[in-house]
Amino acid sequence: MFDLIKTNQTNIKNDVLSGITVALALVPEAVAFAFVAGVEPMVGLYAAFMMGLITSVFGGRPGMISGATGAMAVVMVSLVAEHGVEYLFAAVILAGVLQMTFGILRLGKFIRLVPHPVMLGFVNGLAIVIFLAQLSQFMVKNASGEMEWMSGSMLYTMLGLVAITMLIIHFLPKLTTAVPSGLVAIVAITLAVVFGGLEARTVIDFVRDMVPAEQAATASLEGSLPMFSLPEVAFSVETLMIILPYSLILAAVGLIESLLTLTLIDEVTNTRGRGNRECLGQGLANTVNGFFGGMGGCAMIGQSMININSGGRGRLSGITAALVLLAFILFAADLIEMIPLAALVGVMFMVVLGTFEWSSFRIVGKIPKSDALVIVLVSGVTVATDLAIAVVVGVIVSALVFAWKHAQTIYALESTDEKGSKVYELHGPIFFGSVTNFKEIFHPEKDPDDVIIEFQYSRIADHSGIEALDSVAEKYQKLGKTLHIRHVSPECRKLLRKAGNLCEVNVLEDPTYKVATDVLA
């Protein structure tokens, strides 16, 4: 029911129309995240324009949309509150430089270490976050200046318009895919409100609720071109110490969210983005943001899914979204301000339905309990904190589960060769979790004078493994017995320098093991 992907083909018309749809959806998000960060709405809109344009041109994932995001905004708010917006611009520049450094060092490939259960938890949690974020659109400011839930006819109108928007998006593609259903829904609902005299909250109403009461009457989304300027901060070590912690967190959060979004779109479209190039593109965009008065950002999963669902596949879709957004700011603020929030909420609700992995309910009883726990854990942490923390927690838990399971799998097949040597054919990795079981395999007192450890089906993974091997070798040496190690991979032999004086390594028959490379990253 919720398979919203209609085509994987790049098409200029689809890219342009989907870009326009995305531009309309970017406005309230950019404004909302600007207020989360404690900066002016235009700072968020400039960020959405510059992030979207630069990453679409230079990034590693055609069709992915970047802009101001909540995950980065919550990091910025304390810096802005304590030191002011100019320090934010400096921090965003440094974060961009760090991200470009990650790309140059080709670290984007490490996103492949994120397990599939973490990805499932990521998208499920993200869908819930997007849904919860839309609930704020159902609140209005009362006479005392406090936000309260809608009621009466305003609430019923809002719910009705949201439902109609969702119905249009769902059923229109069954009739025609000539234009994005999301764009048709937004235009149709806007016309219905404008010419039907319906009482419905619009984008400008949302902006006026966000600003202080004395500024509400003059609030507007009209602006000018972003202008180049150096951040007005002291260029000193003290300034660096202030912004560096924020820049590191912003860089990490931005890349984690962007690379996971890239991976998700790869799976949805059955194509492949380039993680290292995305690091460079995100870094360049954030650096430019800092010099042109934007709050920076990263990939936006909601807007990216709107773009993909609307048929946007090429770089032109993101470029169009950015340029149309700028055009709204410069020339058509009045048009964008009259769009009903209900239409945008309906579009985002459809994104929620399309993003959530409903299949996870079906498979939860068919996968290991540890994987099911990771899915639930990552989803919960995403909702409670933010995406980056959730992914880190999920990877750590998955790694610990992996280590525990593999610690139990090490064993050895014992035999005697034609020369009378005892052969231990190891199976399973030797690492910090398995060293205890590894040591218990051997019987130095009972073994003959010549012993061979066969490593063809095993590997030494870390320093704990080296120490364990050293300990076993020392026991045989004290008994005057000789220990040979056979079929150790080249990578493992590099780790054996400490045990080299105790162990004889047969390098003549050692196989070559393939490891991850940078070719595909």
Q: What is the pLDDT of residues 229-281, one digit of tens each?
A: 999 999 999 999 999 999 998 998 899 889 989 988 998 888 888 989 999 99
Output the pLDDT for position 500: 54
Please give, one letter per residue, the 3-state secondary structure of 338-369: CCEHHHHHHHHHHHHHHHCCCHHHHHCCCCCH
One-letter amino acid at 37 equals: A
Closest Cα to residue 62, out of 354, 325, 278? 278
Q: Cβ contacts of residue 510 below 8 Å, gap of 6+?
A: 487, 488, 489, 490, 493
Dist. CA 451–CA 416, nearest whole Å = 9
Tokens of residue 270, six digits: 């059955």
Dist. CA 14–CA 20, nearest whole Å = 10
Q: What is the full DSSP assignment across 116-172?
A: HHHHHHHHHHHHHHHHHHHGGGGEEE-TTS-EEE--HHHHHHHHHHHHHHHHHHHHH
Output the pLDDT for position 318: 95
Please give, one letter per residue, the 3-state secondary structure of 360-418: HHHHCCCCCHHHHHHHHHHHHHHHHCCHHHHHHHHHHHHHHHHHHHHHCCCEEEEEECC
Q: What is the pTM of this model?
A: 0.73
For the chain, the structural domain boundaries read 12-358+366-378, 408-506
9-47 pLDDT, tens digit each: 668 999 999 999 999 888 888 887 887 788 888 999 999
Closest Cα to residue 401, out of 129, 46, 118? 118
Output the pLDDT for position 497: 57
Class of domain 408-506: alpha beta
One-letter amino acid at 147 equals: M
**Mean pLDDT for back-to-back runs of 10 residues, the chain (521 residues):** 51 92 88 82 93 96 92 86 94 96 87 82 85 87 85 92 94 85 91 89 86 79 91 94 93 89 88 91 96 94 89 93 94 89 89 84 86 92 82 89 84 90 91 89 92 88 83 88 82 61 46 42 44
Output the pLDDT for position 445: 92
Output the pLDDT for position 8: 54
One-letter amino acid at 161 equals: L
Closest Cα to residue 319, out of 47, 66, 501, 119? 66
Q: Are 57 and 279 in contact (CB under 8 A)?
A: no
Residues linked to residue 202 through DSSP beta bridges, in sequence order: 340
Residue 225: CB atoms within 10 A of its CB come to 10
